Amino acid sequence: MITCKAFKFEDDGSVPNNPELPLLIYPGALNESQKNSNAALDLLGKHGWTNAWVDGIFSYHHYHSNTHEVLAVVSGSADVKLGGEQGREFHIEAGDVILLPAGVGHCRLGSSPDFRVVGAYAGGRSYDLCRGKPNERPQVLENIKKVPLPEKDPVTGRKDPLHKHWN
């Protein structure tokens, strides 16, 4: 049974977060056979989450204004801050999946040496890299409003639990 937890973050003046959609964390969503890069890439890809990569998470606050992003932890663990500098700290580990709506800040605070995530984007959209600079502000707020809802949940391949929280 896949469960997910929803977290809403307010605009902090630098990182806009998302005014409508909560961040979703799926603890332990990947089974043992999915905790490797190729299997996670396949899982996300068959559910329409592509333009993927395998790496870590940047150690500075950033967000994407033009796409939703999924991060599937395939090895190791990390402490991350989600929602910008005023956000909340979380500990994530292999098997966890984070679904970041457009505009939600994320930053790696520290990690184990073997920490790796598979990242992908709804519909394979290209992503921008925003850091909360004042000159980004007007355009990113417009971009966030225009990002369409994904057709499928990246983990289940169905509408739920994604559409239960993002409607």
CATH of the domain at 31: 2.60.120.10
User: Residue 82: inside a domain, yes or no?
Assistant: yes
User: Residue 167: inside a domain, yes or no?
Assistant: no
Q: What is the mean pLDDT of residues 97-122?
A: 98
User: Residue 122: inside a domain, yes or no?
Assistant: yes
Strand partners, 6: 24
User: Residue 66: inside a domain, yes or no?
Assistant: yes
User: Residue 29: inside a domain, yes or no?
Assistant: yes
pLDDT in the model for residue 82: 98
DSSP 64-101: -SS--EEEEEEESEEEEEESSTTSEEEEEETT-EEEE-
Contact 110, 85 (CB under 8 A): no
pLDDT(27) > 80: yes
- Before 161, cis peptide (omega within 30)? yes
Q: Indicate the number of domains in the chain.
A: 1
Instruction: Among 4-13, 40-49, 130-139, 149-158, name the one with the lowest average pLDDT.
Output: 130-139
Contact 129, 61 (CB under 8 A): no
- Using CA atoms, how far apart are residues 71 and 40, in angstroms rounded to an integer? 10
pLDDT(126) > 80: yes
Give the closest residue to 22 by CA, choosing from 9, 36, 37.
9
Rounded to two decimals, the pTM is 0.97
User: Residue 97: inside a domain, yes or no?
Assistant: yes
What are the pLDDT digits (tens) for 66-97?
Answer: 999 999 999 999 999 999 999 999 999 999 99
User: Residue 26: inside a domain, yes or no?
Assistant: yes
For residue 98, what are the contacts with CB-CB under 8 A and spacing of at least 6?
A: 23, 24, 25, 26, 70, 71, 73, 80, 82, 92, 106
